[in-house]
Amino acid sequence: VAVTRLEVTPGGDAERAYPIFVDPDEAAEERLAERLREHAPGARIGVITDENVARLHLPRLRPELERAGAFAFEVVPPGEATKSLGVAERLCDRFAGELDRTGLVVALGGGMVGDLAGFVAAILLRGVRYVQVPTTLLSQVDSSVGGKTGVNLRAGKNLVGAFHHPVLVYADIGTLRTLSDRERASGMAEVVKHAVIADPGLLELIEAKAADARAGEPQLTAELVARSVRVKAQVVAADERETSSAPDGGRARLNFGHTVGHALETAAAGTDHPLTHGEAVALGMLAAARVGAATGAGEVTLETRLRELYPRLGLPVDLDGWLERWREPAGPGNAPGRPTPIEALIGVDKKREAGAVRFIVVDRIGSTRVVRLDGPRLREILLGEKRR
């Protein structure tokens, strides 16, 4: 059985180190249960999952989790709306009488469940231990590692939260079998991001085996997850709370592709053409590559290289089509009454850093640096508009 064990040492603090297991083999649920018993012997366990994961994977996992001490399986509706203070409160109420400080919360699901359950664990009794069992590619390579937990507010996503690291992450590759092609592609965008910012060999591997990656071949997927997690673990070890002012951006370099990506994702939400997070990030990385090349700070061949790779992974390349839609206050890619994505982008960053948009660019594959641009310069690069 080829289970990979990695470790993350938040902020370089060995006392808080925790293991991440990547398990591509059959009967992973038995090994997961063993790890739970080893990490929290005799603990009472409250499991949080969503309806999709419960339907698809709980039948297999439940008996083993019960043997490890699970007394409650709280099944929440899927979707971002569940990541709320109201649901977190309800879950805290549910667990308060049954879990003491030695108890354990298990997050079984994608990033939505991981963020919500991690947040419940962070605030319940001022903090109980929790374990991440991520079931989407995105959550295995990204959200389950690094200790960011939280819920959404009406005012915006992830606005309430806490840093609270899990004691263990168990990535059961078998759970990914039931992902849709689109969800798998979306997760691959974050793998590509990790490769581009920190691991040139990983990018070559993805390029060599794109078809197998797209198909979710388990051994290859396990390797991609492990290498991707290694990148995230290294970044979190160096700059746990994203406070570094290092020229490479510190933890902020995980935001590569996310400045424009986020603006696109928000603008497309609720329209006839919504983008998944990963699709938006894929487009955002093309934009960041273009910004890098235009400012002279970035690797000039990156945009072309990504454009060749994306279709093989099922990711979009139509950045210019989306940018075209950016000009319209309300159009096919834009819900009526919302600011255009470019306005949203510049508006948001205005509040944060006096009109300058902070961009992570890749100066060569595997290495990043921060550049600052004002709104007009960004429009000039991305929309081809001359500054006035």
Ligand X SMILES: NC(=O)c1ccc[n+]([C@@H]2O[C@H](COP(=O)([O-])OP(=O)(O)OC[C@H]3O[C@@H](n4cnc5c(N)ncnc54)[C@H](O)[C@@H]3O)[C@@H](O)[C@H]2O)c1
Which residues make up the interface to ligand X (CB under 6 A)?
50, 52-53, 56, 78, 80, 83, 109-113, 115, 135-136, 138-139, 142-143, 146, 148, 157-158, 175-176, 178-179, 183, 277
Q: How far is the CB of 143 from ligand X (least distance, A)?
A: 3
Residue 38 contacts residue 6 (beta carbons within 8 Å): no
Q: How far is the CB of 304 from ligand X (least distance, A)?
A: 27
Q: How far is the CB of 262 from ligand X (least distance, A)?
A: 10
- Interatomic CA distance for residues 323 and 316, integer angstroms: 13
Q: Which is nearer to ligand X, 279 or 299 (CB)?
A: 279
**Tally of CA atoms within 13 A in the half-sphere of 256 that contains its CB:** 34
Q: Which is nearer to ligand X, 115 or 239 (CB)?
A: 115
- Interatomic CA distance for residues 161 and 143, integer angstroms: 14
Q: Which is nearer to ligand X, 178 or 367 (CB)?
A: 178
* Distance of alpha carbon 202 from the chain centroid: 18
Residue 76 contacts residue 116 (beta carbons within 8 Å): yes
Q: How far is the CB of 74 from ligand X (least distance, A)?
A: 14
Burial 133-154 (b: 16+ CB within 10 A, else e): bbbbbbbbbbbbbbbbbbbbee
Q: Which is nearer to ligand X, 250 or 375 (CB)?
A: 250
SS3 41: coil
Query: Where is 48: in which H helix or E strand?
Result: strand 45-50
Q: How far is the CB of 190 from ligand X (least distance, A)?
A: 8
Q: How far is the CB of 192 from ligand X (least distance, A)?
A: 15
Q: Which is nearer to ligand X, 78 or 314 (CB)?
A: 78
* Tokens, residue 316: 């979009």
Q: Which is nearer to ligand X, 69 or 78 (CB)?
A: 78
SS3 224: helix
